[in-house]
Amino acid sequence: MSTSAATSANTIQTDYMRLLVTQLQNQNPLEPLDNNELASQLTQFSQLEQLESMNSSFAKVLETIEHNYAASLVGKEVSFVGETEPGTTDIMSGVVEQTYKDVDGQVLLLVRDYMLDPADIMSVKN
């Protein structure tokens, strides 16, 4: 998630720098580019880079918090909506046995034979 955003920001910045160099090489000497406008654009790209970095950091913090929350549920009884028969759902409960991370990095809980997203938990008992 954050890697693609950072890649996107880097791509945009690289494309901008190429465009800027091309503009400077081909500018009309009688009407040169405005230095203030160029400085403003460079400042905006610097800010974009900083925002992308903050976004990446926040994503890592959120991932850690989600993992810690899931780990805190191990050994506790939780309630959730589960499928009892094909097409039939009911409120079920069980003890969280283990936490997993799937291939996409999503944290999952093992409760009985169910793999649950922590967001699907309705209630928690000690």
Question: Model pTM greater than 0.85?
Answer: no
- Alpha-carbon span 119 to 60, nearest angstrom: 18
**DSSP letter assigned to residue 34:** P
The number of residues in the chain equals 126
Token pair listed for 96: 């969280």
Token pair listed for 125: 């008992």
- The 3-state DSSP class for residue 106 equals coil
Whether CATH 1.10.10 fits 74-125 = no
Q: What is the pLDDT of residues 25-69, one digit of tens each?
A: 888 778 777 788 778 878 887 888 888 889 989 989 999 999 999
Q: Where are the domains of the chain?
A: 2-69, 74-125
Average pLDDT value for the chain: 86
Q: What is the pLDDT of residue 2?
A: 47
- Alpha-carbon span 51 to 43, nearest angstrom: 12
- Alpha-carbon span 23 to 83, nearest angstrom: 62
